[in-house]
Structure 1
Amino acid sequence: MAKPQYKIIIILAFIAIYVIWGSTYLLNKIIVGEVSPLYLGAIRFISAGILIFIISKILKYNLVVSQRQLINSVIAGFLFLTYGNGVFVWALKYVDSGFAALLASTQPIFVLLLMRLLYQQKILPKAIIGVVLGVLGMVLLVNQQGLNLHENSLVGILMIFSCVLSWSYASVFVAKNEMPVNYFVSTGYQMISGGIMLLLASLLLGEDWLPPNLWSTASVWSMILLVIFGSIVAFTSFNYLLKVVSTEKVSTSAYVNPVIALILGWYILDEKLSFQSIIAALILLTGVYFINRKKRIFK
């Protein structure tokens, strides 16, 4: 049983991945209008990684890792950030963001299935109930907006599902494999490696590289918030949670993030908050409750 002080840290970490990552929808919406998606991700993650290493040196954290820990960090950086994040943003060219959010909400299902297939763990009924409620809530949340599908939408849908699978497998991979002992340092190695691979992908695809000094003030501040909170604080919290609680509980952020994004869009951008959206949010959070209310998800 976790000590009280560790319970507090776990709660704060969940708040970080729920609320902060939920706010990144808003921040990305502001900045991606003028900055190419892979280039944006590269700057965000490389900047975050450099800052983490600087802070780690100041705090005298040990940055030395074993060869296996370094390799695992690079693998995780690719699965989480280069592919899972970068390709997802690219796929939004072909799929509505609302529909993409619905596809992303399948992450807890992928995690449960991977745990079953890779580790032969039997899923308890309450976890299945939570997943079903979560997907139902997401359907209600995005269905009211209507879908704008066109001839290239199938490509986008397949790419998003591959990104969700990549992120889900990475979650299981980090939870089960040897990573740098310090969660902050582990995040730094993942950020640097994932960001460098995104930069190379952006270069190979010929994206426009608009210098940061030419960005609007809103985009600059959005990037600062993405780097400090979305990348450093939330991703470090995510890596910590993957090691101290079950992977499928951590994946419930896929349900909560759109709810946070919905509330922020209503409060900051004056977007419409319908009765159906409120009902959908309640169903989503009920699904999270079913998955999180007990320690064990599997038999």
Structure 2
Amino acid sequence: MDKPKMHPYIPIIIGVISVSLSAIFVKLAQAEAGVIAFYRMLFSVLIMAPLFLGKYTKELTKLSRRDWLFSSIAGIFLAFHFILWFESLNYTSVASSTVLVTLQPLFAFVGTYFFFKETITMKTILAGAIAVVGSVLISWGDFKVSGTAFYGDILALIACALVTAYFLLGQDVRKRLSLMTYTMIVYVVSTITLFIYVLMKGESLAPHSSMDWLWFLLLALVPNFLGHTLFNWSIKYVSTNVVSIAILFEPVGAAILAWFIFKEYLIVTQIIGGVIVLTGILLFVVDIKKIFNFFAKST
């Protein structure tokens, strides 16, 4: 393996900060959730287009009806994931929303069990149970604060389920398509879906503030490209588990940023519930036996 020019943990840390900024940019924008999501995906498509045209366009002619169907459905799910997640940030805190969206790996193991017949272990069940307890604690605490915060938590959970469905469809299609082609199709379908949604809602595509254009562009550049590109670069030099664990710090980073920028203070149930959720997901992605063996060898 080639020696990296920098320590892989450096781009991973930058990547975590990048994805943590997603909720912050959404909060700063004044436009409706559908409009924000539309411009995020539109700018992403425009940035990707020069890289896609020419080299990957021939692959489009080789797609089966199944690939077109699954990729299109994935794009629709991604669109409504963004709509509901962005909308949740209008009702609940950045911390609660991002923690609940982070439950995606646990939604995924249910999906892979039913659709791909993957085995569910006792460790997976235990991790899921722990994370569910944490999410209930967060939602219960938000419900006691206000009904709107609880409503925002529900939207975040549905958004989490939708992005899981998006990944499950991608798990099937990506066996036959390149990453660039699949991503481009999904992003284009998602952009068209969001455009139709905005028109049907009667929302204005003209942002309420000139600063909104900056937030739209940053949403495409920072979380979409900088964050995930750095994760994809790092995966060549470190284990997938390292990146998976690092992403768990997204809610932590988002909560800290929200505290500085929006003065969002965490209540006790949010802190405890968030720690429990992250513990459950950490248990899910970490190979406990390898950790024990590592410490056993060290001693």
| Whole-angstrom CA distance in 2 between matches of 1:104 and 1:274 | 19
Counterpart code for 2:219: L
Unaligned runs of 5+ in 2: 290-299
Q: Residue 64 of structure 1 aligns to a residue in which SS? A: helix
Aligned mate of 1:294, from 272, 287, 295 = 287
| Whole-angstrom CA distance in 2 between matches of 1:270 and 1:161 | 24
Given that 2:103 and 2:277 are in contact with CA atoms closer than 8 Å, whether structure 1 keeps it comes out as: no
Given that 1:84 and 1:164 are in contact with CA atoms closer than 8 Å, whether structure 2 keeps it comes out as: yes
Structure 2 residue 111 is matched with structure 1 residue 114: yes
- Aligned pairs, number: 278
Structure 2 residue 110 is matched with structure 1 residue 104: no
Counterpart code for 2:200: L
| Whole-angstrom CA distance in 1 between matches of 2:52 and 2:191 | 19
Please state how far the C-alpha of 1:246 moved relative to its aligned partner.
Answer: 8.6
Please state how far the C-alpha of 1:132 moved relative to its aligned partner.
Answer: 3.4
Given that 2:96 and 2:274 are in contact with CA atoms closer than 8 Å, whether structure 1 keeps it comes out as: no
Matches within 5 A, 1:128-277: 128-139=125-136, 146-149=144-147, 161-178=157-174, 181-211=177-207, 215-217=209-211, 219-234=212-227, 253=247, 256-272=249-265
Structure 2 residue 21 is matched with structure 1 residue 23: yes
TM-score normalised by the chain length of structure 2 = 0.71
Given that 2:99 and 2:251 are in contact with CA atoms closer than 8 Å, whether structure 1 keeps it comes out as: no
Please state how far the C-alpha of 1:206 moved relative to its aligned partner.
Answer: 0.6
Structure possessing the higher radius of gyration over alpha carbons: 2
Please state how far the C-alpha of 1:259 moved relative to its aligned partner.
Answer: 2.0
CA gap of 1:285–1:105, structure 2 versus 1, over 3 A, is: closer
| Whole-angstrom CA distance in 2 between matches of 1:283 and 1:229 | 28
CA gap of 1:129–1:12, structure 2 versus 1, over 3 A, is: farther
Please state how far the C-alpha of 1:129 moved relative to its aligned partner.
Answer: 3.1
| Whole-angstrom CA distance in 1 between matches of 2:220 and 2:184 | 12
| Whole-angstrom CA distance in 2 between matches of 1:240 and 1:70 | 28
| Whole-angstrom CA distance in 1 between matches of 2:156 and 2:267 | 27
Unaligned runs of 5+ in 1: none
Please state how far the C-alpha of 1:264 moved relative to its aligned partner.
Answer: 1.5
CA gap of 1:70–1:20, structure 2 versus 1, over 3 A, is: farther
CA gap of 1:264–1:230, structure 2 versus 1, over 3 A, is: same
| Whole-angstrom CA distance in 1 between matches of 2:73 and 2:250 | 25
| Whole-angstrom CA distance in 1 between matches of 2:57 and 2:10 | 25
Counterpart code for 1:191: Y
TM-score normalised by the chain length of structure 1 = 0.71
Counterpart code for 2:164: S
Give percent identity, aligned residues only. Answer: 18
| Whole-angstrom CA distance in 2 between matches of 1:121 and 1:168 | 15
Given that 1:107 and 1:251 are in contact with CA atoms closer than 8 Å, whether structure 2 keeps it comes out as: no
Of residues 198-207 and 67-76 in structure 1, the stretch that sits farther from structure 2 once superposed is: 67-76
Deviations 1:225-263 (CA, angstroms, capped at 9, x unpaired)? 10112223445678999xxx999x96995x543222112
Given that 2:77 and 2:162 are in contact with CA atoms closer than 8 Å, whether structure 1 keeps it comes out as: yes
CA gap of 1:281–1:170, structure 2 versus 1, over 3 A, is: same
| Whole-angstrom CA distance in 2 between matches of 1:165 and 1:209 | 27
Matches within 5 A, 1:85-104: 85-90=82-87, 95-97=91-93, 100-101=97-98, 103-104=100-101
Given that 1:72 and 1:179 are in contact with CA atoms closer than 8 Å, whether structure 2 keeps it comes out as: no
Counterpart code for 2:117: Q
Of residues 284-293 and 12-21 in structure 1, the stretch that sits farther from structure 2 once superposed is: 12-21
Deviations 1:207-229 (CA, angstroms, capped at 9, x unpaired)? 12225xx6233x33322210112
Given that 2:35 and 2:205 are in contact with CA atoms closer than 8 Å, whether structure 1 keeps it comes out as: yes
| Whole-angstrom CA distance in 1 between matches of 2:125 and 2:14 | 25
Given that 1:53 and 1:185 are in contact with CA atoms closer than 8 Å, whether structure 2 keeps it comes out as: no
Structure 2 residue 49 is matched with structure 1 residue 53: yes
Counterpart code for 1:220: W
Q: Residue 31 of structure 2 aligns to a residue in which SS? A: coil
